[in-house]
Amino acid sequence: MKPIRIVIAALVVGFIGCKKPTEDIKIVVDTDIIKHTALIRVTDAQTGAQVPANAVITILGNEAANIYEVSGKKDIKLTQGMVTIGLHPNVVPTAANPISITAEITAPNYTAQRKVITFTLAQRQQVVDIGISRVGNTQPPIVVPPPPVYQDVSLNFTGRCPNRPDVEVRPSVYISFRKSGTTNPFQHLGYMEKGNITTKLLALNETYDFQIVFGGEAYQVSQKIEQSSYNLSIDMPAACNF
């Protein structure tokens, strides 16, 4: 099936005096095309560590043909153990008929794992954790405690297109975070809607790495938290192929 094209959502035009008509045009790309999505996070079940780079995800089931990577691609692969999948925009679950698929994870020296993912009318976003165990490992899965809670911090992300200063991206994607300078696995921060997210998981005077996975690529930006809101820019070349 053909990939889904990201839509150019708006043209912001500012004509001033005798400037060229195109001089102040800003092309705004809206990634909120696939409405029912699932962030899949795959880790080593016993350690919580990131799975090998050669781990493979396969989507199975009668509805597999209607599943896309969030950028609109049919090429669904794990990037640092994560991928966001979703239903084709023309395929919508109903209250009476939810849509289910199966995600299968395989990796060398690991036991294959399958998990059913169900898309419902009421739930547009969901996070699906899949732990895989090394062959022969019978230890129970690790239990990761929830992160501590702090005061609200609002983040407004704008995606950038390399070599295209006239383009900006409003990302509607899942975002992860970890403290800068550590090798800890990224944790789920939340879902940003058109670049905006408010969270209670960021501590004052700490510096964090923020990561999004989009189009098979991982993009990061860092910020020290010293106030209640920030405007951040993040390169997103995979969103610029329109």
Of 46, 38, 107, 43, the residue nearest 67 (C-alpha): 38
Instruction: Tell me the pLDDT band of 8, cut-offs 50, 70 and 90.
Output: very low
Per the CB < 8 A criterion, the answer to whether 142 and 165 are in contact is no
Per the CB < 8 A criterion, the answer to whether 235 and 219 are in contact is yes
Check pLDDT > 70 for residue 66: yes
Q: Which amino acid, 104?
A: E
Check pLDDT > 90 for residue 11: no
> What is the predicted pLDDT for the residue at 30?
87
Residue-wise pLDDT for 180-190, tens only, equals 999 989 999 99
Domains of the chain plus CATH, in order, are 37-132 (2.60.40.1120), 153-239 (2.60.40.1120)
pTM: 0.89
Residue-wise pLDDT for 175-233, tens only, equals 999 999 999 899 999 999 999 999 999 999 999 999 999 999 999 999 999 999 999 99
> What is the predicted pLDDT for the residue at 29?
86
Check pLDDT > 50 for residue 9: no
> If DSSP codes are grouped into helix, strand and coil, which group holds residue 84?
strand
Q: What percent of the chain has pLDDT over 90?
A: 77
> If DSSP codes are grouped into helix, strand and coil, which group holds residue 238?
helix
